[in-house]
Chain A
Amino acid sequence: MLAQQLVNAISLGGVYALFALGFTLVFGVLNVVNLAHGAIFMLGAYAALQGVIHLRLSLLASAFFAMLVTGIVGWLLDRLIFAPLRARRAPHLAPMVATIGLAISLNSLVQGFFGAENLRFPVDALSAEALSLRGVQITWLELRIIFLAFVLMVALLWGLKKTRIGCALRGLAESPKAAALMGVDVDGLFRMTSVIAALLGGVAGVLIALYTNVKSSRPIWDGMMSQALRQGRTYHEQFSGSFGTAGPLRRNRSGERH
Chain B
Amino acid sequence: MRGIDLSLHQGQTTTLLGANGAGKSSTLLALSGLLRASAGSIIFDGAELRNLPPHRIHARGLIQVPEGREILTTLTVRENLLLGAYRRQRRDEIAADLENTLMLFPRLGERLDSAAGNLSCGEQQMLAIARALMARPRLLLLDEPSMGLAPLLVQEILKTLRELNEQGLTIFLVEQNVHQALRVAHYAYVMESGQIVLSGPSSELLNNPKVIEAYLGA
Contacts of B186 in A (CB 8 A): none
Within A10-33, the residues touching B (CB, 8 Å) are none
| Contact A174–B58 (Cβ < 8 Å) | no
Docked CA distance A167–B83 (Å):
7
Contacts of B70 in A (CB 8 A): 175, 177-178, 181
Contacts of B66 in A (CB 8 A): 177-178, 181
Within B33-57, the residues touching A (CB, 8 Å) are 33-34, 53-55
Beyond A177-B34, A183-B87, is A171–B75 a contact (Cβ under 8 Å)? yes
CB contact between B79 and one of A167, A179, A181, A186 (< 8 Å): that residue: A167
Contacts of B58 in A (CB 8 A): 180-183
Within B59-97, the residues touching A (CB, 8 Å) are 59, 63-64, 66, 70-75, 79, 82-84, 86-87
Is B131's beta carbon under 8 Å from chain A? yes
Docked CA distance A183–B75 (Å):
17
Nearest-CB residue, chain B, relative to A161: B79
Contacts of B64 in A (CB 8 A): 181
Is A185's beta carbon under 8 Å from chain B? yes
CB contact between B55 and one of A167, A171, A178, A186 (< 8 Å): that residue: A186
Nearest-CB residue, chain B, relative to A166: B79
Is A237's beta carbon under 8 Å from chain B? no
A/B pair count, beta carbons within 8 Å:
67
Contacts of B82 in A (CB 8 A): 164, 167
Contacts of A177 in B (CB 8 A): 34, 66, 70
A51 to chain B, nearest CB (A): 37
Is A184's beta carbon under 8 Å from chain B? yes
Docked CA distance A183–B54 (Å):
7
Docked CA distance A177–B33 (Å):
11
Mark interface residues in A157-191 (1 if CB within 8 Å of B CB, else 0). Answer: 00000001001101100110111111111110000
Category for how many chain B residues contact A: 20 to 34
B103 to chain A, nearest CB (A): 21
Docked CA distance A123–B109 (Å):
62
Nearest-CB residue, chain A, relative to B64: A181
B13 to chain A, nearest CB (A): 20
| Contact A183–B72 (Cβ < 8 Å) | no
Contacts of A187 in B (CB 8 A): 53
| Contact B54–A171 (Cβ < 8 Å) | no
| Contact B74–A170 (Cβ < 8 Å) | yes
| Contact B75–A181 (Cβ < 8 Å) | no
Docked CA distance A140–B131 (Å):
50
Mark interface residues in A175-214 (1 if CB within 8 Å of B CB, else 0). Answer: 1011111111111000000000000000000000000000
Docked CA distance A182–B63 (Å):
8
A170 to chain B, nearest CB (A): 6
Contacts of B17 in A (CB 8 A): none
Beyond A170-B74, A174-B75, A177-B70, is A182–B86 a contact (Cβ under 8 Å)? yes
Docked CA distance A186–B86 (Å):
12
B182 to chain A, nearest CB (A): 26
B60 to chain A, nearest CB (A): 10
Contacts of B59 in A (CB 8 A): 183
Is B135's beta carbon under 8 Å from chain A? yes
Docked CA distance A51–B79 (Å):
43
Contacts of B72 in A (CB 8 A): 170-171, 174-175, 178-179
Residues of A within 8 A of B (CB): 164, 167-168, 170-171, 174-175, 177-187
Known: A178-B70, A182-B83, A182-B86. 13 other contacts (CB 8 A): A164-B82, A167-B75, A167-B79, A167-B82, A170-B79, A171-B72, A179-B83, A180-B33, A181-B63, A181-B66, A183-B54, A183-B58, A184-B86
CB pairs A–B below 8 angstroms (29 shown): A164-B86, A167-B83, A167-B86, A170-B72, A170-B74, A170-B79, A171-B75, A171-B83, A174-B72, A174-B74, A175-B70, A175-B72, A177-B66, A178-B70, A180-B34, A180-B54, A180-B58, A181-B58, A182-B58, A182-B135, A183-B54, A183-B55, A183-B59, A183-B86, A183-B87, A183-B135, A184-B55, A184-B83, A186-B55
By Cβ-Cβ distance, the 8 closest A-B pairs, closest first, are: A183-B58, A178-B70, A180-B54, A183-B87, A185-B55, A171-B72, A174-B72, A183-B55
